[in-house]
Structure 1
Amino acid sequence: MGLLDGILGQVAGNPEIANLAERIGLSPEQVTAAIAALGAAHTQPGDTVAGAADSTGLSPDVLQQILTHLGGEGALGRLGALLGGAEGADGSGGLGSMLGGLFGKA
C-alpha cells in the first residue's frame, strides 16, 4: 500500500480535491480517504458505495456525490489502472494524468 498511500497523500494537497471537499462539506483528508475507500470497494463484490460507507463511516449520499464528481464507477477503474503502473518510464504521467482524467481534464 506504500505507492497508494504516497499518491493519495499527494492528491490530498491538490486544489481539485480541496475544491471538491469544500463543495460537499468535508476536509480534503476525508475526501482522499473516501476516494481510497471507493477505489478499494470497487474491486470487491457488492455495492461500491455501500462498501466504502462501511469502511469510512461516511454516508452513502456523500460518497455518491464524490463518486459522481470523480466520473462514476468507470473513473474508479481508470484510477485502479493508473495506480497499477500506467506511469511513464520517465516517471511522468502518474498523478497529473490521474487527476486530469478523473476531473475531465486532458
Structure 2
Amino acid sequence: MSIFDQIKNAAHNHPTVKNMAEKMGIDQEDAEKAIAALTEGHQAEGDTLDVAADKSGLDKGMLSQVMEHVGGEGSLTGFMQMLDKDHDGNPLNDIAGMASGLFGKK
C-alpha cells in the first residue's frame, strides 16, 4: 500500500479532518486526499503543491489552504522525519502505525 493510501486511510472519518473540512467548506474526502497527497508530495522531488496536485487531482489553492491549516510546510517536514521510527531507511513499514497515531486511531 502506498504512503498516500495509508495516510488517507488513517485520516478517513477522523473528527479532526472532518472539522477541518467543515471550517474550510470542502468535502471531507477531499480533505483526506489533500492530507495524504501533501504528505507524500513533501518527500518527493519537486514542489510539494505541484506533486500533491498531480497525485490527488485537487486544486493547488485548496491544497495550500489545507497545508496552512495543518501547520504549514514545516509540519510536513516534522511528520516525514518521524515516519522512519525504526531508522531502517524505509518509512513505509512505519507509516501505518505513525499515521494511526497522528489521527488517534491506535
Shift of 1:21: 0.9
Structure 1 segment 1-106 matched on structure 2, within 5 A: 1=1, 5-85=5-85, 94=98, 95-96=100-101, 98-99=102-103
Paired letter, 1:69: H
Give the direction of change, closer, same or farther, for the CA distance of 1:68–1:40 in structure 2 (3 Å limit).
same
Give the direction of change, closer, same or farther, for the CA distance of 1:51–1:5 in structure 2 (3 Å limit).
closer
In structure 2, distance between residues paired with 1:6 and 1:30: 15
Structure 1 gap ranges (5+) = 87-92, 101-106
**TM-score (normalised: structure 1):** 0.69
- The number of aligned residues is 93
Structure possessing the higher relative contact order (Cα contacts under 8 Å, 6 or more residues apart): 2
**TM-score (normalised: structure 2):** 0.69
In structure 2, distance between residues paired with 1:3 and 1:36: 7
Shift of 1:67: 0.2
Q: Percent identity?
A: 38
CA RMSD across the alignment: 2.5
